[in-house]
Structure 1
Amino acid sequence: MKNIKRGLLILWCCAQVGSVWAQAVGVAAKVNGVEISNFRLERHFADYLLAQGRSVGAIRSPNVYKRLKTEALEQLIDKELLWQEAQKRGLNVDPARVQTALKKLKAAFGSPENFARRLAQEGFDEASYTDYLGQELAAMMMLEALTPVSAPLAAEVDRLYQLNMKQFERPEQIQARHILLNVSSASDKESVAEVRQQIIGLQQQLNQGADFAALARRYSQDSTAQQGGLLDNFQRGDMVPSFETAAFALLPGAVSEPILTQYGWHLIKLEQRHPAVSMPEQEAKALIKRQLATEQVTQARAEALTRLRSDSELVVLSR
């Protein structure tokens, strides 16, 4: 529903910045002699920001504002080029398709009154917006016609799968809790032994039925103390060797003997073990195929728009 509303070029956010309307006079660009007014740019700019989850009032940096405004203008120029090309080729949108799209937009606003009110805020009436919507649909159809792409070759999909098989595998992982009592690297043997006795004391409490998470919250000197010592899932190679070896040797629910690392003395409790998994080959190849198709479409569209621009007369007056 939200995406449908965005398609209406909402100017609601522009009400926060009154100066926008003062600037919406004059011409932003000319495309083969056809003017793109500043007013038209402001309407499209609002929609461009909303599509990115932004609003005019939230932009604090003048450089960011200028960059986004330029991007919106470039997009608007592309739309005008596509519309003009559609006219040249006699590409017409089925009126029934336009009416279907219009009906969906009306439904998104809950009532005809809300829809009409929003159109008026944007400088449209239903007739002019219907014309505009037809142009938008024609531009989209023209872009599709200019960028026919074939399905990715099976051989290329196979090749990329073989090269990236590791990317579709997740090695064995575990989740654990730990209690850490710090030992400085400069500590002498007596200090290390003293801290070891403290961690043994906590081990004895666990053996008597104490809750590991509760002890971690009370005594652990690690940043995970507030989470009861809970660590994120990790795999072999993520932790220091002595800690990792002890953790992976445990069964779920078991607690390790005191383990010394460069950080201090640890007690480790294994919460759960996640075995290694691999994405099925067919699923992985389907993912590669979709990515290749997306890349081909993106490249083809960029090339088509570049050709249209090179064959056109463009004058940009607003930067």
Structure 2
Amino acid sequence: MKYLLVVVGLWTTLLIACAPQSEKSELVARVNEVVLTKAELDDRLPDQLDDQRSAAERTQFIEEWVSQELLYQEATERNVHRNALVYSLIEQARRDLVVAAFLDSVFGNRPSDISDKELSVYYVDNKKNFERSEDEIKAQHILLSTKRDADALRQNLLQGDDFEKAAKDYSLDQETKMSGGNLGYFTATSMPQFWEKCYGLPLGMISKTVSTERGYHIFRVLAHEPAGSIKELQQVRMEIVEALVVGKYQTRLEELIGDIKTRHDWKIFPH
């Protein structure tokens, strides 16, 4: 059964991949009479700034296409596509795609506007859902490649240099440097190595130089929140936005279905 679901998941990809292409397009792969063209390959792979990554992705896509096409052709030769369950799953996948395209045409892909008032009301009404299950720490860090550089920078920070500016200027952590080294909130479960280095560090104090497999870190703890406390609105803002957007979408969907029901003959029979 699980293999049938995988087949259905790949059905759309296979249909697109097998679509006829211009004869002028250079061929990059072939399985019997079915071909994959360069134009099709270019359409399916996003542009990448890293040429090596792009080349690797192209090779992987081609190999996966060949594998899936071989499996598909072998399956059809064995008449697996005539299996009633397979046909039913394919038909359901087709119906789901049609419905998805219809809903996209009706609702568009623009997110619903969520006001600050809606955010605040939802937060107040659902505070229990934002209770911390573990102790949390909010911290910043600066990552450097050598202990010498880290020790020198730490001395400057102890003498009053701005931590956020130093992180932006010197940190090697590309994910956090532009936010001043902000690691956000984390727990002993989510980031055990950083938790071990930061737990017990007084608020605002510059840590000693700390070594990990990534390099040499300087930490500063900004907050320590105990389990059972309520997360701040800003910390759960995106979670609330997502919940409100989903709720608005569900409301619009129910309204749409209700309207359609008034224009069609339908009935649910006893069962």
- Please give the TM-score of this superposition, normalised by the length of structure 1: 0.33
Based on CA coordinates, which of the two structures has the bigger radius of gyration? 1
Q: Which has the higher contact order (CA 8 A, sep 6+)?
A: 1
- Please give the TM-score of this superposition, normalised by the length of structure 2: 0.38
